[in-house]
Amino acid sequence: MSELRAFAEKSNAWPFAEARAILKRLGGKAPEKGYVLFETGYGPSGLPHIGTFGEVARTSWVRHAFHQISDIPTRLIAFSDDMDGLRKVPDNVPNKEIIAPHLGKPLTSIPDPFGTHPSFGEHNNARLKAFLDAFGFSYEFASSTETYKSGGFDAALLNMLEHYDAVINVILPTLGEERRRTYSPFLPVCPKTGVVLQVPVIEHNAAAGTIVYQEDDGTKTEVSVTGGHCKLQWKADWAMRWKALGVDYEMSGKDLIDSVTLSSKICRILGGNPPAGFSYELFLDENGEKISKSRGNGLTVDEWLRYAPPESLAYFMFQKPKTAKRLYFDVIPRQVDEYTRMLEAFDTQTPEKQIDNPAWFIHMGEPTSERAHLSFNILLNLASVCHSEDKAVLWHFISRYRPDANPKTAPMLDKLVEYAINYYQDFVRPKKSYRKATAAEQAALLDLSARIKALPVDADAEAIQTEVYEVGKRDDFEDLKAWFKALYEILLGQSEGPRMGSFFALYGREETLQLLDRAIRGDDLAA
């Protein structure tokens, strides 16, 4: 046994706990099909959102952890439920009038409102794959439409038809009285309109492989359950897919716990073994409401990536998957800085600790050796004081503080500068509200200016921070917190801010003295 495997078998990191549970469930042996199948599901009724990415990322980390404790081969399928009928027009798409006439049809039969793909489902599938590819995930994409129509599910659908009554008896007790009268696990696709129909099934014939449904005008229509002429209601569909593909592991949101229980019962009726997995907590928007693809609340993947590196998004997903977390723009700076701290700590850790570090999972066991050099928070405040959209302006200050770094030798830092400028322009600048210093605060700023002037020209951040503390302790402030709050509000136009010694060192001695002098005089620092 390798040293890494020995550490992995004792690791407290949640992906390793999941991996060990999978191996135990398999009895330590490969399944009959010869590999362990991980699956993630995607409902392409709306644009891919961060929750979708999170499910693939988290499943990939469990898969990676499994590789450390077992030599059994694995596969990961990202499965798109693109044959589902679209119930309503999403709020966050253009050209809604293109979609409205096609409600009820499979997503892959609805025109693409973006005009880039043959269908809305294919557009959203492409968006998902593009991001997963950009991030470097190893996966196989599968389409519900393609699998149904190609016959890939035919045997499983006929199996479902054979167990029709048993499946019905599992589902009916969970439904209301009216729904019970019309429920069928099979949804016929109307030969005339292409709509996925929610209609009563009045006959089912396992020998013929067909169902008969009654239309609104009383007409009886017989259709095959195979070849894409029917699809299953989603709980039955989920169970059928587990059995047909032999899924060994699939995670899902906490809101689907009851659905997992029902689908597991159906899977067993079909002769399958439900997959292992765990229920993760949901993401909430800034108002504490569940994020939704169709509503478009919370953040999209593209929005996060305008303001921060993808690794920071992965870090956000890694932390406490069973704890509900708010997902909105304000969380981004902290996630960037926490991720970079984990990355910088990695090389100082023992191998036993390294495999518990989120950076090890995010980089699939091979974290980059590059470092950020400066915190995102510091860069945001530098952008704030400079009032500039030009990276060169910020690099002017950075190069004096870190002469070993430049855009070519420190590409991570260069990207962080770009992200910081975007974030500042969109979220910080509009909310900035500078205030004038009171007489007592002017005296304290004058004291601080004198102390900085008395320091050696090459004084470092710690030396400057000491003088900042001394002023706060000696001058007329209730406590140090009130002093720092005053500095942030007067100099930066915000209620919170960076470690001032580090910020002043980065901004530069002369520039800092000029900034303090302007505040003492009562100049408009927003200009």
Could you tell me if residue 198 is inside a domain? yes
Could you tell me if residue 300 is inside a domain? no
Question: pLDDT tens, 65-80?
Answer: 999 999 999 999 999 9
Residues 57 and 189 in one domain: yes
Residue the block writes with tokens 């590059």: 370
Contact by Cβ (8 Å): 500, 465: yes
Q: Which two tokens stand for residue 87?
A: 């119930």
Could you tell me if residue 363 is inside a domain? no
Residues 261 and 403 in one domain: no
Residues 389 and 449 in one domain: no
Query: What's the total number of domains in the chain?
Result: 3
- Provide the CATH number for the domain around residue 507: 1.10.10.350
Contact by Cβ (8 Å): 385, 492: yes
Instruction: Give 10-residue mean pLDDT values along the chain (527 residues).
Output: 87 96 95 97 81 90 97 97 93 91 97 96 90 88 98 98 97 92 93 93 96 89 97 96 98 94 98 95 76 62 90 94 87 95 95 95 92 91 88 93 92 96 92 92 95 94 95 83 94 89 93 95 86
Which SS3 state, helix, strand or coil, does residue 393 take? helix
Ramachandran quadrant class, 146 (left: phi over 0; alpha: psi -120 to 50; beta: rest): alpha
Residues 460 and 490 in one domain: yes
Could you tell me if residue 310 is inside a domain? no
Could you tell me if residue 358 is inside a domain? no
Question: What's the confidence (pLDDT) of residue 291?
Answer: 66
Last residue of a domain, one of 401, 431, 461: 431
Residues 389 and 253 in one domain: no
- Provide the CATH number for the domain around residue 204: 3.40.50.620
245 vs 96: CA distance, rounded Å: 36
64 vs 57: CA distance, rounded Å: 10
Domain that holds residue 68: 3-280
Residues 146 and 243 in one domain: yes
Residues 264 and 404 in one domain: no
Which residues, in sequence order, are bridge partners of residue 214? Answer: 220
Residues 166 and 194 in one domain: yes
Residues 400 and 499 in one domain: no
Question: pLDDT tens, 301-319?
Answer: 888 999 999 999 999 999 9
The neighbour count for residue 475, using CB atoms within 10 Å, is 17
273 vs 301: CA distance, rounded Å: 34
Contact by Cβ (8 Å): 374, 402: yes
Residues 421 and 451 in one domain: no
Could you tell me if residue 313 is inside a domain? no
Last residue of a domain, one of 280, 305, 321: 280
Q: Which two tokens stand for residue 382?
A: 């530098």
**pTM for this model (two decimals):** 0.88
Question: What's the confidence (pLDDT) of residue 1?
Answer: 53
Residues 113 and 251 in one domain: yes
Residues 263 and 396 in one domain: no
Could you tell me if residue 118 is inside a domain? yes
Last residue of a domain, one of 256, 280, 304: 280
291 vs 55: CA distance, rounded Å: 14
Could you tell me if residue 238 is inside a domain? yes
